Amino acid sequence: MSEAVSTLDGWWSLHLLYNVDWASLKTLEESEKNRLVGELQEFLEREEEVHQNKEGSYSFYNVTGQKADVILWMLRPTVDELNKLELEFNKLGISKYLIPSYSYFSVIEMSGYLAKESDEDPYENPYVKSRLYPEVPKSKYICFYPMDKKRDLDDNWYMLPMEERRRLMRDHGMIGRKYAGKVKQFITGSQGLDKYEWAVTLFSDDMLEFKNIIYEMRFDETSARYGVFGDFYVGVHLPTAELPAFFK
């Protein structure tokens, strides 16, 4: 039997995607629409406060294409908090005009493939902490997608010896490092939590860098041989102050 890799797990993660029911929204009086948008702005301002206090993080983007119109990504120390937030969001007036299109539940994860032997508690290491309890950036663009590692008879990631997986993850990391400063990546694990095994959430100020990194990684054995991907969602940052213009 091949050995399972250990993981360090951080904040819980919930991606919520919605389509806007523009036709129904259009029938609203201007003042009522303003009230609903104001309520959503207050919700996001509370998210910003939690983010500033480093008690969680979030992002809100306008999704490109018909799969969704907006994506709200929230990170919290407990699932209970995420559930409460989801409920709070569902009870906002604007939610009557938001049609759920996709959601993804997972937890921020760091795998132990490249961890150095040490006696210290990894959860106390400042670098590890910054990865497990991250400040999500407000980059111009987001790219989010779920993925699996293949479990076919010939290509089965889970039957590879630990050393081989470590070698592959090292190569993967080397490619990733070329994108330092251009793409910020967040890997959340969802084995037993949602349909795929991981969600990848990337941020960049240049949309083309998503295509560049993902294309380059496709040629690397980890992705070329073992990567299985769900739908890709990309979008543009939607600052809270711009919500009235967005919903107008």
For the annotated catalytic residues, the residue numbers are: 145
Task: Write phi, then psi, for 41 (nearest 5 degrees).
Answer: -60, -40
> Minimum distance from CB of 179 to ligand VOV (Å)?
4
Q: What is the distance between the alpha carbons of residues 248 and 221, in angstroms, rounded to a whole number?
A: 47
Which of 169, 193, 207, 228 forms a contact with ligand VOV (CB under 6 A)? 169
> Minimum distance from CB of 218 to ligand VOV (Å)?
6
Kindly state whether residue 204 participates in binding ligand VOV, applying the rule CB under 6 A: no
> Minimum distance from CB of 240 to ligand VOV (Å)?
27
The DSSP letter of residue 140 is: S
Pairing of the two strands 98-111 and 184-189:
antiparallel
> Is 146 annotated for ligand binding?
yes
Kindly state whether residue 185 participates in binding ligand VOV, applying the rule CB under 6 A: yes
Strand-pair partners of 59: 73
Nearer of residues 111 and 139 to ligand VOV, judged by Cβ: 111
Kindly state whether residue 111 participates in binding ligand VOV, applying the rule CB under 6 A: yes
Nearest CA to 187 among 104, 125, 116?
104
User: Number of residues in contact with ligand VOV, rule: CB under 6 A?
Assistant: 24
Q: What is the distance between the alpha carbons of residues 3 and 187, in angstroms, rounded to a whole number?
A: 21
The tokens 């409460």 sit on which residue?
84
Kindly state whether residue 161 participates in binding ligand VOV, applying the rule CB under 6 A: no
Kindly state whether residue 198 participates in binding ligand VOV, applying the rule CB under 6 A: yes
Nearer of residues 67 and 96 to ligand VOV, judged by Cβ: 67
Residue-wise burial string across 129-145, b where 16 or more C-beta atoms lie within 10 A, e elsewhere? eebbbbebeebebbbbb
Q: Which residue is nearest to ligand VOV (CB)?
A: 176
Kindly state whether residue 176 participates in binding ligand VOV, applying the rule CB under 6 A: yes
Nearer of residues 15 and 149 to ligand VOV, judged by Cβ: 149
Task: List the alpha helices (DSSP H) in the chain.
Answer: 22-26, 30-52, 79-90, 126-132, 162-177, 207-218, 221-226, 243-247
> Minimum distance from CB of 103 to ligand VOV (Å)?
19
Rg over CA atoms, the chain = 19
Annotated binding site: 131, 145-149, 172, 185, 223
The site for ligand VOV (CB under 6 A) is made up of: 110-111, 113-114, 147, 149, 169, 172-173, 176-177, 179, 183, 185, 187, 198, 200, 202, 213-214, 217-218, 223, 227
